[in-house]
Amino acid sequence: MTDQAENLRARIKRQLDGERAKTIAVISGKGGVGKSNFALNFSISLSKHRKKVLLFDLDVGMGNIDLLLGKTAEKTIAHFLTEEYSLDDIIQKNYDIHYIAGGTGLNRAIKLEKDRVEHLLQELKHVLYDYDYLIFDIGAGMNDELVRLLSGIETLIVVVTPEPTSILDAYSAMKIIHLQVPEAKFYLLGNRMKNEKENSIVMQRLQAVMNSFLQKDCEILGFLPEDSTIISAVKNQIPFLLFKPNSNAAKQMRIVTKNYLMKNDSLEQTQKEDHFIERLKHFLLRK
For the residues 92-97, what does the mean pLDDT come to? 90
pLDDT band at 63 (very low <50, low <70, confident <90, very high): confident
| pLDDT tens track for 171-184 | 999 999 999 889 99
* Distance separating alpha carbons of residues 91 and 107, to the nearest angstrom: 20
Per-domain residue ranges of the chain: 26-284
- β-strands 92-94, 97-100: how paired? antiparallel
* Distance separating alpha carbons of residues 232 and 70, to the nearest angstrom: 13
pLDDT band at 160 (very low <50, low <70, confident <90, very high): very high
Residue 98 has what pLDDT? 95
Tell me the residue ranges of DSSP E strands in the chain.
Answer: 22-27, 53-58, 92-94, 97-100, 133-138, 155-160, 186-193, 219-225
Of the ranges 4-8, 50-54, 62-66, 79-83, which is most confident? 50-54
Residue 241 has what pLDDT? 96
| pLDDT tens track for 38-56 | 999 999 999 999 999 999 9
Residue 121 has what pLDDT? 79
* Distance separating alpha carbons of residues 184 and 94, to the nearest angstrom: 31
For the residues 149-162, what does the mean pLDDT come to? 91
Longest alpha-carbon distance in the chain: 57
**The CATH homologous superfamily of the domain defined by 26-284:** P-loop containing nucleotide triphosphate hydrolases (3.40.50.300)
Of 15-19, 113-117, 169-173, 262-266, give the lowest mean pLDDT range.
15-19
What is the value of pTM for the model shown? 0.88
Greater pLDDT, 82 or 102: 102
